[in-house]
Chain A
């Protein structure tokens, strides 16, 4: 099935309580699949087609604030509209899952795939000091697997999580093993997992709850910000995920995420056939970013090539992590053009010649 369809099936199966979304290419199959599957008749999952992405993300904020597992999906221009709501969720510590099946920008851009929302996703995207947990799938299988993982992380840390996919992974068809059907949590389970939630349960014992990001007293607001930063530091320490291949004897490495890592895998195979000792490093969490691992990598290899379907965004994170210990070049295509493995091979050979000159 398609990556977008896998997201919808996985949502139902992992016990999601509600989906709120607005159609946009290339991710409309998520809402279409959910509408066709009618989960409200089986698991009781709510599906709402909202009037806009702004409404969708605020439905997520409202639903997440009651302790329910809620998600939305969209593509780049729609996710741009959601940034206000994501900042509110981060500030009010509301869990929720946002799927971005990226397309090229800026503005209305193109409906073809892109990875140009990397900066927006990994820097927070809205106002204020915050980060969102960002998972980057590179297969239809991971589209399915990361739904449950995204929810788990979002609830564990009371923060929004994002699956940063793109039009390639969303539209691509692959075999997928769907997770077994988990029941939706009972009210008692929600109360236990989310004692902070605003849903009326137990109010007389605990007093009233308010989900809010507002605080006018700067001394209290600073403490709240410090609390968020402490939480982010813990996430950075515990939740970094990545994958490596062909790295054992590698002299050079390609760093790529999502669909670019699939194309880069082909390029690595071609380079290996030519006798070049090249490996692949794939960040799975883009925030938290595998900084220590990249730094360690930079001490082992002569050069790194960052391949992205954008003008060079993750490359800055790689350079910061590498601390000048290896050459770090970027190769990307823009506007909805997906890189060709041959182009990546050529770009890697340029890294090699630069490293040899140096």
Chain B
């Protein structure tokens, strides 16, 4: 049997999103980025927005998001993605504009841009990957690193006396007048992936319907940064992250 004989419409139960290309992904095994990329690519395609989307990639592990999803992209400076998105959406109101940012980018160096873009009610969506660590630079403490969690720059565990407290940006975003849909999701099980996809779809639709700004946080794994196997990383995330970063919608107007 040839490949072509096997892959027929009646046999097809799953396919790679059409907007995902064949470039070799740089993400580590067990990392959540690949799953979220897939969801973003599927939703854009399903909404028929391929030629009307501008994605803004961050500085961090997702810096190369533009290599994997075949839409138009801009690669921002660290933390500045919401500023780029603001201009893109204001100048092209009929475009789907989203940023894709990690916790260091969004909740640390870009806190100002994030809060102000959300508070202005820019009709954009921010996809926020929270894995409680700086992945790309090699596992340093993030603003979202949990108390007690060990990283390269808090090797004895995060101590609030020295390092301050983990920041819940999504709770802050929910308080802002300009936000429409603010939610926290994960992608560690099939059920969670389906819910996360529905959340991304809702956020994208809101931003096209002039409802204001939208934030979808995805509590994510970083098996390399956490120094755990992919399976153990999922366990660790459920046991530790979900307690501090509670799942579900925080705001849905």
Contacts and interface: CB of A to CB of B under 8 A. Distances in A.
Interface of A: 17-18, 20, 46, 48, 50-52, 54-56, 58-63, 65-66, 68, 70, 84-85, 88, 92, 198-204, 207-214
Given A68-B91, A211-B74, A211-B75, A62 B86 contact: yes
Given A63-B91, A214-B63, A88 B77 contact: yes
Q: Would you list the 10 A-B pairs with minimal beta carbon distance, nearest first?
A: A62-B84, A212-B75, A63-B87, A58-B83, A62-B87, A58-B80, A51-B116, A59-B87, A198-B72, A210-B66
B75 A200 contact: no
B86 A203 contact: no
19 contacts: A46-B87, A50-B83, A55-B83, A58-B80, A58-B113, A62-B88, A63-B87, A68-B91, A198-B73, A199-B72, A200-B50, A200-B51, A202-B51, A203-B72, A204-B51, A208-B69, A209-B73, A214-B63, A214-B75
Contacts of B51: 200-204
A200 B53 contact: yes
B76 interface: yes
Contacts of B76: 58, 61-62
B112 interface: yes
Interface residues of B, number: 32
A98 B224 CA distance: 42
A204 B84 contact: no
B242 interface: no
A20 B77 CA distance: 17
Nearest to B50: A203
Nearest to A203: B51
B88 A63 contact: yes
B45 to A, nearest CB: 12
Contacts of B53: 200
Interface of B: 50-54, 56-57, 63, 66, 69-77, 80, 83-88, 90-92, 95, 112-113, 116
A24 B190 CA distance: 52
B113 A51 contact: yes
B92 A58 contact: no
Nearest to A20: B87
A155 to B, nearest CB: 15
Given A60-B87, A63-B87, A66-B92, A55 B113 contact: yes
Contacts of A203: 50-51, 70-72
Contact of B116 (A55, A61, A209): A55
A66 B54 contact: yes
A185 to B, nearest CB: 12
Contact of A61 (B63, B73, B84): B84
Task: Name the residue among A58, A65, A88 with the largest chain B CB count within 10 angstroms.
Answer: A58
Contacts of A46: 87, 90-91
A87 to B, nearest CB: 9
A153 B242 CA distance: 53
Contacts of B54: 66, 198-200
B195 to A, nearest CB: 28
Contacts of B91: 17-18, 46, 63, 66, 68, 70
Nearest to B71: A208
A58 B72 CA distance: 17
Contacts of A55: 80, 83, 86, 112-113, 116
Contacts of B88: 62-63, 65-66, 199
A52 B75 CA distance: 20
Contacts of A199: 54, 72, 88, 92, 95
B66 A208 contact: yes
A88 B86 CA distance: 17
A298 to B, nearest CB: 42
Contacts of B80: 54-55, 58, 61, 85
A211 B87 contact: no
A335 to B, nearest CB: 31
B87 A208 contact: no
A21 B87 CA distance: 12
